[in-house]
Chains A and B, each alone.
Chain A
Amino acid sequence: MIDIIETFLAEKGIYMMTFILMGLGIFGMVSSGNYMKKIMCMNIMQVSIIFFFLALGQKEHGTLPVVVENLLGADAYINPLPHALMLTAIVVSLGTTGVALALLMKIKEIYGSIEEEDITGKRWKK
């Protein structure tokens, strides 16, 4: 029994963790009232997806996808594609976060607060 759970965790555990992380990220974005926290949760969610792709790229006995001296054959290296994709995704999430922070500064200037309650109560609601 424990064996089964162990193999299951070994094989799928990382995916489970990433999805829990993602679920928590979305949950946090929905539930927290502070905009800064929302941004943090957004980052957690994005990171979880990056983890997911990187976990997909893992391979048994694989090493870094850099040819050091001679090419050792396809089994020797982990999958480079998810890494490349995730570099793009990281930069994209960086850009998004940057814009989010700029917006947050602007919101702070206009409303004097970054708490959703203050903003909704004061001026957002028509």
Chain B
Amino acid sequence: MNMDRNKDRKKIVGVFFVIAVVIGVFFLFPDLLPAVDDAKAPVHTYLSDYYIENSLEDTGAHNMVTAVLADYRGFDTLFETCVMFLAGVTALMVLSTTAKVTKPERSRKERLQISFGSTVLDIAFRIIVPVIVIYAFYVLVHGELSLGGGFQAGALLAIAYMIDRIIPSFNSSLGNLKEETAAVIAGVGVFIYILTGLLPMAGSGNFLEYGKLPFGADTAEQIRQLHGTGILLIEIGVVVCVMATIINILEVVLERTEFDD
């Protein structure tokens, strides 16, 4: 008991120490960072201006964040997607050495009984799932125009699957993926991205240079459209990868842990 109090006191001292150090640094060097909202700060006058002024013209994407993410810095995003894939594979590898938990196979009748507790909720979820899927596609294709993009769409699709999977009363309407299969699909998703990057090389462009996708484009407008195509293609890759990875992790966890129903 006494020890605990001592520990707590130490923690409080630590917290105040951290706060004091940060405040101290800020009062010692008030000009350390530019003021928030200061439009004249170097952050806002160099690259930022270029992106804001040229992104629509360069890439045809109305959403500048998407333009930066998927086009100007598309290479970062490729590896961001790889991080997802890698996380899924790693989780699978880490947990694959432990034995799977065998769960008793339940009959359909039983499954229908164990649910969220009420028919209303069950039915509600049944209705929600298709809506989520449709919304996900909307988010995907709308990414370059307004807010949205592959990661969000992938997450939404995964949620649709998740609901389908964890509500016991569902009759597996979307099918039951094995975690290894999910990892394979995630890999294919990344590969779509890589292929999109490699294609412009055939048109004497650099890696990920969408403007030189070998689909025949001459005018500036067509090139802009090609950028749109490129962004869409990689977003599809991202969607597949993110969705499969989330499913992968979910399956790994579900198979190896005993949850209280």
B111 within 8 A of A: no
Chain A residue numbers with a CB within 8 Å of B63 are: 65-67
A81 to chain B, nearest CB (A): 6
Task: Report whether over half of chain A's contact residues are helix, strand or loop; otherwise say mixed.
Answer: helix
Q: Does A71 contact B (CB under 8 A)?
A: yes
Identify the 8 closest CB pairs spanning chains A and B, nearest first.
Answer: A11-B35, A95-B87, A23-B18, A102-B91, A80-B64, A84-B68, A65-B64, A79-B48
Question: Given A59-B37, A84-B68, list of 12 further CB < 8 A pairs?
Answer: A12-B30, A20-B22, A56-B43, A65-B64, A71-B53, A71-B56, A84-B72, A84-B73, A85-B73, A95-B84, A98-B87, A106-B98
For A8, A31, A102, the residue with the greatest tally of chain B CB atoms inside 10 Å of its CB is: A102
Task: Indicate the size class of the contact surface on chain A.
Answer: 35 or more
Query: Interface residues of B: mostly helix, strand, loop or mixed?
Result: helix
**How many angstroms from the CA of A106 to the CA of B98 in the assembled complex?**
8
Contact A79 B22 (CB under 8 A): no
A119 to B90 CA separation, bound complex (whole angstroms): 23
- How many residues of chain B get a CB closer than 8 Å to chain A's CBs? 59
Quick check: is A10 within 8 A (CB to CB) of the other chain?
A: yes
Bound-complex Cα distance A95 to B151 (A)? 13
A84 touches B65 (CB 8 A): yes
| Bound-state Cα–Cα, A65 to B54, Å | 12
